[in-house]
Structure 1
Amino acid sequence: MPRPKTYRLADGTAAPRPFLKWAGGKQALAAALQKRFPDRFDRYFEPFLGGGSVFFALASGNPVRAVLADENPWLIDTYRGVRSAWRRVAATLDTLPNTKADYYRLRAEDPAGLPLHARAARLIYLNKTCFRGLFRVNRAGRFNVPYGAYDRRLYDPNDLAATARVLRGVDLRCADFESVLDDVTPKDFVYLDPPYVKLGGHADFNRYTKGQFREPDHDRFAALCRDLDRAHVRWLVSQSDTPLVRKLFRGFRIQRIDARREINLDATRRNVGEVVVQNY
């Protein structure tokens, strides 16, 4: 398998690759999505940040004024922790043993009481050692993915350092997607990658927070996109190719693309149909 291309930042240093594996991650599609983005915009908004593949690809070119957000507070704290003290995050990761007993011991601890850098390290550790790199919480908001028994390194120091560099000056927010966009203007651009309308199997996964993203949330999301369109704000949406999605976004430009879902257990179902929807 060919090695991924190494991109360079404007200062000549290597651009970061996503350091977390996230359901619905767009690493394989990031370049194709970027080609559909407007040539010019003031700020880049991404209200469903997840693993950050699209932002990191975008940041491999010119510096980006960005507002990045997610409703998952542990995820946003992890980005903040890496940005402010990536070396401390790395040093903490070096102390965490990858054994089944230690995994379940560490998983059982409440990360909310940890310092920011340790909280970031704990999420990275669990993400790298849990089953298939899945992030899932129960109704109480507690991480509950079983141990994965993988022999892999927990981090790449170059990626953490590059991530810290590109996140300097970025506005990181923990909020619902609607409130994130309260201050968006027609000069800005919004990329939206919400939890997908269900396709079946592991593609149905939507418990990234203790709440779930259900059909009323998809209705609310589509209504917001129409409000943004009336306000002349440009946006692009990634979604599953389902009748509901096509109904919700009727009247906008909809294009089908092929995507690969690495978290799906059935390898024959990892290649699925997705759509990109845009209002420009």
Structure 2
Amino acid sequence: MKTCELFKKKTTLSFEVFPPKSSTPVESIYSTISQLQPLNPDFISVTYGAGGSTNNATIDICSAIKNHHKIESVAHLPCLYQTKERVLEQLEEMKSANIENILALRGDRNPDFEPAGDFHYASDLVSFIKEHSDMNVIGACYPECHPECDSIVDDIKHLKDKVDAGCSQLITQLFFDNSTFYDFREKTAIAGINVPIEAGIMPVTNKKQILRMTTLCHATLPKKFLKIMDKYENDPIAMRDAGIAYAVSQIVDLIANDVDGIHLYTMNNPYIAEKICEAVKSLF
């Protein structure tokens, strides 16, 4: 099923997982997925290897999610270091694996690799996929503006290009202040972007980890959130529980304000996903 069809029926709940590191057996992710399955997500997306990497388990994991666990899957596909020939190969691999959904990304720059030069922006990849397949293509978006973009106005213009190229739905980068998302949603509507937008929610369980991630994506940390991290940073259990509670409060508020869907960045931690889903399951 193409995941864009889900939004016609309900508020969606989806998860993101990532392939294990090369030093870890790939089978470890299948245990994670088995624990996520009873939570009944509408789909699970699988991230790609680091910048410049072409050898990864994304398609295999997506195939297992779709064909073994009977959950719709979304394969991440960054393009900056991909040739057109390699993308075509992966489209064929996905088709053979019964995968119908792609999250089309430019991908992060990696100073250790030279871009292939075939794709400069995610919109280039979106157009290419739509030209060569009937895949459902999803785009990423940044409520607080892409770190490399000069302004949110320019960023939304680029986002409109992506949607016009063929994106049927969008998933946001993480954010911790819902008012930021509502402001972004209003701006996208004014720009004529009328596809469903899933809100990306990151449960925080580790202060150092989230500070590193927010530095990379320029997400703002509200004062009340910073107080939570400062108070519980040396108590892992309390930090975990506080992070879960904060994510739940975000989700409750988003659903009350008619969000199209929630995309939970699970960090491959089924326990956290389970606790959040227990708290909000009646809202979906």
Shorter-chain TM-score category? Answer: 0.3 to 0.5
> What TM-score results when the alignment is normalised by the length of structure 2?
0.33
